[in-house]
Each structure stands twice: as C-alpha cells, then as structure tokens.
Structure 1
Amino acid sequence: MKKACRSCGNSTQTPQVQNVTHGLCPACTEMILGNPDRLQSFLNKIEVPTLLMQSNPRLVVTANHGAQVLFGKSPAQVSGLRGGQVFECRHSFSEAGCGLDENCLNCTIKEAVIETLTTGVSQNEVQTVLPIKTPHGFEAYGVSIATERIGPSALLAIRSFTRI
C-alpha cells in the first residue's frame, strides 16, 4: 500500500497492496494535532464538511469551515459535543443522550467512528437516515459520511446531508 501524507506529500510504499491512501505521516500528525491554528488550517483545506472526533470519550474536537456553515455553529460551539448533538439528531435530546439512547445502539455513524478509532480502517460511503431538529420539528435527513484516522483522532467527513 502506498501512503501519501496530505500535508507534506511524503509517501511510503508497502509492496503487498497497490492502493493509495492520503492520511498524515507521524511527523505531520504530531505537528498539526499539537497546534490549534495549524489544525484548523488543515481542516479548512478539506473540501467537505468535516468534524474531528477524539477517541475517549467520543467527542467533537473541532469543525472545519464547511461543517461550521452546514450546522451554523462555530468550532467553540461544537467542541466537547457528541456527534449527534452537532447534527441535532432527535436521539441526542433524549434523557440518555447521543450514543447512549437505545436508538443509538446500531447508529451507523457511531459504528463507523468507533471502527476507525479502534482499527485505523477508514470507512467510506456510510449511509443512514437521521431525524434532525429543524424549525419545523424533526425531519428525516439522508446522511453519507466517511471516516479516516489521524493519530489518536478520527476525521468524520460529511459527504451528503439532505432532507428527504
């Protein structure tokens, strides 16, 4: 597998597989995750709305510009929230809360983030329907996401978010 760093462009080659991935090399991961300004700049270069999730507990660290526009929230407003709280999923408003409500047991977004954080394997085109709070009550939204691990964290890229 050939890995090309998104930040510096350096690559390494493992001969078994011919795929190419675009994560971050260890040096760039440390440099970016260790500096809030560099982290925000890195995230803002990602073209789709993206949240950075920490591993334990699974909370949002920050959001890129696209996610800020999509959800109408600043990085400070999403930091420390669970993903469903950022999306304003109906189940995040329950007494148990996002990720703990019985309806969250099989949440495909939660499962994708956990899989990526646990194994390092990126998840692509993970699709689900979420009940999202809107000014008109709760409405069904089709959501497609992808995940990628960077260091101890995971990127949650929102590929589509459409009312259905």
Structure 2
Amino acid sequence: MKIICSFCNTVISPGRSAEDQVSHGVCKYCYTRILTEYGFNLKKFLNMLEAPVFLVDEDVNIIAANSLALAAVNKPIEETTGHICGDVLECINAFLPEGCGKTPNCPDCTIRTSVNETYKTGTQTNRRPTDIIRKNGESEETARLLVSTRKDGSVVLLTLEFCAGV
C-alpha cells in the first residue's frame, strides 16, 4: 500500500507496484508544522509523561524529547533533536564506520525493531527488556533498558526506562 501525506502529497511510504492502493497519513514535516501552527505545545505534552520519552520517526531519528529523556542521556535538546537514537544513547555500534542502524548488529537492536514494528503495524510494544553497550569515555558500560513504543500519527513515542544495575 502506498502512503502519501494528506497535506503536501509527499510519498511517505512507496507501494510495491504502481497498482497499489493509496492510503493517507501525515509526513514528519507536516506533522511538526501542524503542531506548531495550531498552538499545540509538544514540549508541555511530552513533559507531562512520567517516563523518559523520545518522539521518533521511522528511522529512529529523534524529533523531540521530554525533560526526563534529556536527563537520562545527560544531553541538551540541541544534541538530541535531529539525531539518530543510537548516537544519542552513545551505543557502541553508532561509533562504527557504518553508524547506527547500519552495522551487522543493528537488525537485532530491540529499540530499532520495536520502533520499526510499531511504525509499520501500529502495534505498541510494552517494556521489552534489552541491554545496550554504551561508550563511557574511553571504556564501555552496559545499560539495561525497558523499551516501549506507541504510534501517534506518523511518529512513534519511544519510552526508554533505564534500570538500575546490570
């Protein structure tokens, strides 16, 4: 099924053939513009949530984050928005030449597979456990996370609960 933006007619998801049915959604650009133009305060909404939440697109690029998520990764909003999740989390795979999402380990990434599954099917995931190895200066550390996802329009709310101890 081919999916196009209802507002700007950009192809969001190409179909497999010219004869595919067409559905409508909202592209990332229009989604952001709609939120801004209609006065919806995305930051206020995200900060009402009681867990670290990132708003991500289909490629796990961060569109927005709440204050708990920023605190969890110890980064300002400027170092998260527009960046891919593995870079922000400092996953060791993101430091490889291929980068986040393109290494041989990435297809097994619980964060990436959860976001992709939710984006494609609309099915939410709830508290999937995973460990990621993160850069910590010159050394590495294992971070235990619980991953939850929920689709909202053309974006996914990605909740990452950082667990104490490994």
Same fold (TM over 0.5): yes
Aligned to 1:34: 35
* 1:102-113 mapped onto 2 (5 Å cutoff): 102-113=104-115
Aligned residue for 2:108, secondary structure, equals coil
* 1:9-158 mapped onto 2 (5 Å cutoff): 34-35=35-36, 38-55=41-58, 57-135=59-137, 137-158=139-160
Q: 1: distance between equivalents of 2:117 and 2:141? A: 28
Aligned residue for 1:61, secondary structure, equals strand
Aligned residue for 2:88, secondary structure, equals helix
Structure 1 residue ranges without an equivalent (≥5): 1-29
The amino acid across from 1:85 in the alignment is: D
Residue-by-residue CA offset, 1:37-62 (whole Å, 9 max, x unaligned): 6111110111111100012x431101
Q: 1: distance between equivalents of 2:97 and 2:146? A: 26
Residue-by-residue CA offset, 1:93-114 (whole Å, 9 max, x unaligned): 1100011111112111100000
- Pair 1:32–1:163, CA change in 2 (3 A): farther
Deviation, 1:162, is: 3.7
**1:54–1:60 contact (8 Å) kept in structure 2:** yes
Deviation, 1:31, is: 9.4
Q: 2: distance between equivalents of 1:144 and 1:41? A: 24
- Pair 1:33–1:151, CA change in 2 (3 A): farther
- Pair 1:161–1:93, CA change in 2 (3 A): farther
- Pair 1:160–1:72, CA change in 2 (3 A): closer
- Pair 1:33–1:59, CA change in 2 (3 A): farther
The amino acid across from 1:38 in the alignment is: N
Count of matched residue positions in the alignment of Structure 1 and Structure 2: 134
**1:32–1:42 contact (8 Å) kept in structure 2:** no
CA RMSD of aligned residues (A): 2.1
Residue-by-residue CA offset, 1:58-97 (whole Å, 9 max, x unaligned): 3110110001111111222101111111111000111000
Structure 2 residue ranges without an equivalent (≥5): 1-30
